[in-house]
Amino acid sequence: MAIAEGRTLPFTGPEAIDVAILETFPYEGPDQDIVTETSEFSAVCPYSGLPDFARLTISYVPRTKCVELKSLKYYITSYRNVGIFQEHATARMAEDLFGALAPQRLSVRTVYNIRGGFETTCTVTLPAGRISPVS
């Protein structure tokens, strides 16, 4: 008898993602690619409540604003107990960051740890002028 079969751990919904914590600072300079990476991203599988871990890469070309890294860390940490599919988490981060920064271009890439024998990589790239809500 499998004791863990059908079990789930409690988690919160996407409403717990704290987009309001994101802060920016003014940028005046030439076009440049800014790349920020962490291996400390985690969210929760909405089926099991078990954590999903990923390497997160955020790349953008600023127009007039850059993201403040401490606020970014708090924003990313707000996903920790959120039940959200990997693909939706990547899309939500891209939309939130695009909304906060209004960059020329932004890409969010997540490479999730292997689950069920599959490594999953999700990438969302948003050009300037495109904002579509994620539900």
CA distances for 82 relative to 10, 26, 33, 34, 35, angstroms: 9, 31, 30, 27, 25
Q: Using H for helix, E for strand and C for coil, what is the string for 33-96?
A: CEEEEEEEEEEECCCCCCEEEEEEEEEEECCCEEECHHHHHHHHHCCCCEECCHHHHHHHHHHH
How, if at all, do strands 65-67 and 105-115 pair? unpaired
Task: Please list the active-site residues.
Answer: 45, 52
Other beta carbons within 10 Å of 113: 13
